[in-house]
Amino acid sequence: MTKKSIISTLLSIIFVLAIVFLDPKSDTLDGFNKNYERSTYFENCTTENSPESATSTLFHVVDVSDGDTIVISQGCKPVTVRLIGIDTPETVDPRKPVQCFGKEASDYTKTNLKGKNVTIETDETQDIHDKYGRLLGYVILEDELGNKINFNERLVEEGYAHEYTYKVPYKYQERFKTAESHARESQRGLWAMNVCSQ
């Protein structure tokens, strides 16, 4: 091999490793988000709840990666959850600049979910995990009156997310599409005048 081809090969290897270890959407460490900062929440944990098998169990939200991706506790370890049916503007992808209204969407999710206990609802029309190993689900909150709130839908209603269908229609697709239409008509969030170029 020539010196030039050796350098080219080394650069290719470095590039691939950089994508694997820097891509926040790539959960390469046992299916968990490598950007997650371990907290004292896990120091004394003893239970082993599984969101894949029990939709009635509450899970603690220990971190928020961005507007549509959170980290919950599953027993003594963190599990990354990608919210079904929505897409918020990017804030943490190193390959892209922060997108318009991304910070606002991320902050909204942090304010409403971080530190809260939620139910994770999976959808039989979708895979359990995406190609990055993230659990796919709807995040269900309960308000002071005991009403169940689909947080995925709330993000779309308030204009923090687009409705997003990945390959196969999901259970709440029509509701989410209607929610986006109302957000657009009401010019909420990213649909507000002069907020983002549309």
What pLDDT is stored for residue 133 in this prediction?
96
- CATH code, domain with 148: 2.40.50.90
In a domain, residue 46? The reply is yes
Domain assignment of residue 97, yes or no: yes
Q: Under DSSP, is residue 88 helix (H, G, I), strand (E, B) or coil?
A: coil
- Count of CB atoms situated within 10 Å of the CB of 75: 13
Burial of 30 (0-12, 13-18, 19+ CB in 10 A): exposed
Q: Is residue 37 in some structural domain?
A: yes
Q: What's the angle, vertex CA 186, arms to CA 182 and CA 191, rounded to 5?
A: 90
Range of the domain at 92: 27-155
Comparing 22-31, 95-104, 150-159, 182-191, the range with the smallest average pLDDT is 22-31
Query: Cα dist. 95→107, 150, 162 in Å?
Result: 21, 30, 21
pLDDT for 59-82, tens place per residue? 999 999 999 999 999 877 899 999
- pTM (two decimals): 0.74
**Residue 120 in contact with residue 74, Cβ under 8 Å?**
no
In-domain check, residue 195: no
Q: State residue 38's pLDDT score.
A: 44
18 belongs to a structural domain: no
Catalytic residues: 82, 90, 134
Strand partners, 149: 141
Q: Is residue 175 part of a domain?
A: no
Number of domains in the chain: 1
Of the candidate ranges 35-44, 93-102, 125-134, 146-155, the one whose mean pLDDT is the lowest: 35-44
Kindly state whether residue 62 falls inside one of the protein's structural domains.
yes
Q: How far is CA 87 from CA 56, 73, 82, in A?
A: 25, 23, 10
In a domain, 108, yes or no: yes
